[in-house]
Amino acid sequence: MTLRVRVSMSMILLSIMSFTAAPARAATPGDVVSAQPTTVYLLPGKLLEVPVNAWHLLYNSTSSTGALNTVSGTLLVPKSGYPLGTRPIIGYAVGTHGLGDQCAPSVSMSQGREAELALVSLFLLKGYAVAMTDYEGLGTPGGHTYMAGVSQGHAVLDSIRAATRVSGAGLSNRASVGVMGYSQGGASAAWAGQLQPTYAPELRLRGVAAGGVPADLRAVARHLDGGPDFGLAAAAGVGLDAAYPELDLEADLNDRGRVLLADAADDCVGDLSKLAGLRFADLSPIDLLNQPKWVTRMTENRLGATAPRVPMFLYHARGDQIIPLSVGSTLRSEYCRAGVNVRWTALPAPDHVTGAIEGGPLAIEWLALRILGLPAFGNC
């Protein structure tokens, strides 16, 4: 055997050894697990197909306790090109849909019953791509971690990361990014803003628009206790229990509470009205809102302790019967004291839902200006 042959054989063996010894890359947040083409509709009966390229996604994210998890969502990309360069990406965080997998936005969009597509379409008409998370446990195995803000913020940021990694979507990891949401989505959007500098610093986040934000879960729960929307507070208890198993909500409930919350565990938001008028005291012999383990976790999920580094547009209905205006204005004050560039709008809307309708277009136009690179002027 000649020297040249021996050297060649050695190089081949080394290459084989190097290849077989190389460990597989560990899964990381934002990795795409699967991306299946899908179709979304504006009306029930699969009427009025939205003219976009769409994918149903499974992607990796991070739970509230730091564990790697898998979350579902939907990516929408206009079929036309974007004339101004790199197509921007909006992380759109939906409001409360419910606790059952059938309530997930990815399901409702595929069936033509997703009301928030009306707002999302305004982004699509501008040529932006939109990544919409279902959040942890809504559309994937396990309980939905409803109102666990840390998990929700991670899910929003990782939906944007995943969007840039979908083959055929034509999106860049250098794209300008905006985040928007209302109600549960408002909390998720604000959490995305707070978490982004340390969790997803590579994203070119330009601004966050968050409306009707339930920034303080204890304050909102006290407000809802015994009222017509108590089902939302109960659902938040179920969601936090799913996020933090040590809370062990079932052990703290009475028999009636166990039956009612077990029945609600797969309900969509409209079905939660059956809990109207109840109080936490009807479900548990323990003062849950003042129990140390619950106080600790609700405090961890209270917005305002960390300052986002991008401009924020906060909007809230003056007549909001679900999330008191004072909760939103307190968040505004805390961000302002921390030096955040905040634009605050108290809308004349008489209730929570009308606040989403009145504030949505304002938020979209504000975000569009940030995407274009125009300066934001706060009103702290």
Angle separating helix axes 217-224 and 292-300, nearest 10 degrees: 120
Do 208 and 223 share a domain, yes or no?
A: no
Q: Which of 299, 319, 354 is the last residue of a domain?
A: 299
Do 51 and 152 share a domain, yes or no?
A: yes
Q: What is the pLDDT of residue 174?
A: 97
Q: Which of 274, 299, 324 is the last residue of a domain?
A: 299
CATH code at 64?
3.40.50.1820
Reference 189, options 105, 70, 315; nearest CA is 315
pTM of the prediction? 0.93
Do 174 and 315 share a domain, yes or no?
A: yes
Confirm whether 83 is domain-assigned. yes
Q: How many angstroms separate the CA atoms of 318 and 348, rounded?
A: 6
- 3-state secondary structure (DSSP) of residue 189: helix
Confirm whether 377 is domain-assigned. no
Do 260 and 113 share a domain, yes or no?
A: no
Q: What is the pLDDT of residue 24?
A: 62
Do 185 and 236 share a domain, yes or no?
A: no
Q: Cα 317–319–321 angle (5° rounding)?
A: 100
Domain of 251? 219-299
Q: What is the pLDDT of residue 47?
A: 86
Do 185 and 265 share a domain, yes or no?
A: no
Q: How many angstroms separate the CA atoms of 4 and 367, rounded?
A: 64
Do 137 and 108 share a domain, yes or no?
A: yes
Q: What is the mean pLDDT of each run of 10 residues along the chain (380 residues)?
A: 37 38 74 97 91 98 97 97 95 97 96 96 97 97 97 98 97 98 98 98 98 98 98 97 97 97 94 96 96 97 97 98 98 98 98 97 98 96
Do 262 and 203 share a domain, yes or no?
A: no
- C-beta atoms surrounding 313 within 10 Å: 28
Angle separating helix axes 184-199 and 149-163, nearest 10 degrees: 70
> Please, which residues have CB within 8 angstroms of residue 144's CB and are 6 or more apart in sequence?
98, 99, 100, 135, 136, 137, 138, 239, 242
Residue 330: Cβ-neighbour burial (10 angstroms; 0-12, 13-18, 19+): middle
Domain count, the chain: 2
Do 290 and 229 share a domain, yes or no?
A: yes
Q: What is the pLDDT of residue 54?
A: 98
- 3-state secondary structure (DSSP) of residue 112: coil
